[in-house]
Amino acid sequence: MDVFDCELRDGYSMPMLGLGTWQLRGARCTYIVKRAIELGYRLIDTADAYGNHEEIREALKGFDRSNLFITTKVRHGNLRYHDVIRDCNRSLREIGTEYVDLYLIHWPNEMIPIQETLTAFNELVDDGKIRSIGVSNFTIRHLTSALQTEEHPITNNQVRFHLYDYDQALLAFCKKQQIVVTAYSPLGRGRILHNPALLEMARRYHRTPAQICLRWCLQKGAAVIPKTSSEERLKENMDLFDWEIAAQDMLTLEASR
């Protein structure tokens, strides 16, 4: 099953499905990331704050790095120029890679000028340590400020986004700016999967509620990074690309919010 890619503003492309790794630690993390790649996942989403870079380094061993798309994030307390450069270099050592495909500002921090942080990000692009620049948890106001001084393009905004909680205005703004939205917690951390409308739709499509949720995000134009620690669910969560939800059913789902 091939995972579709989307094009980023800087010319690179990014898979529309990845594996989220928040709360995955230790041997289970290494095993699940390795199995995910064997099954066809190419995007692995981590962060300095998740404390699992080294487990991911173990999992990546033996795979062709050039086929993979690794995202990590710098902590929001470490957005000063020198902190960003230091943390990125440490993250690269921990992950055992010469570059990450996407480096995100994990959370905005209004105590530190965004221009200072982006200066470090731009330098990391110039030095070949990161390919694409992105942000996370940015509102329209944060993005507007960041876009004013961008040098290398801001390509991605990773935000909480699922059927029962998403920001339509932010999505429209990002689309207009050609910034890809990545949906985090696309399954609402597993808590939204028992909604009656979702269960009915899943039965009708012969899909699982999780697949309906993930496919709904894709059809809204967002990339998805569901996390699972189960091998079976890894397979389930990637079976998204050869079917679709009818337009009327997209509306019915939204009306069930």
**Where along the sequence are the contacts to ligand NAP (CB under 6 A)?**
20-22, 45, 106, 136-137, 158, 184-190, 193, 208, 210, 225-230, 233, 236-237
Quote the least distance from Cβ 78 to ligand NAP, whole Å: 15
Quote the least distance from Cβ 193 to ligand NAP, whole Å: 6
Q: Which of 104, 95, 52, 112 is nearest to 75 (CA)?
A: 104
List 133's β-bridge partners, or say none: 103, 154
By DSSP bridging, strand 13-15 and strand 5-7 are antiparallel
Residues in CB range of 203: below 8 A, 6 or more apart: none
Residues in CB range of 11: below 8 A, 6 or more apart: none
Quote the least distance from Cβ 182 to ligand NAP, whole Å: 8
3-state SS class at 234: helix
Place of tokens 């996370």: 136
50 annotated active-site: yes
Quote the least distance from Cβ 100 to ligand NAP, whole Å: 14
- CA atoms within a 13 Å half-sphere pointing along the CA-CB vector of 242: 3
The residue from 50, 103, 166, 184 that is catalytic is 50
CA pair distance 219, 215, nearest whole angstrom:
6
Residue closer to ligand NAP, measured from CB, 82 or 201: 201
Residue closer to ligand NAP, measured from CB, 108 or 153: 108
**So which residues are the catalytic ones?**
50
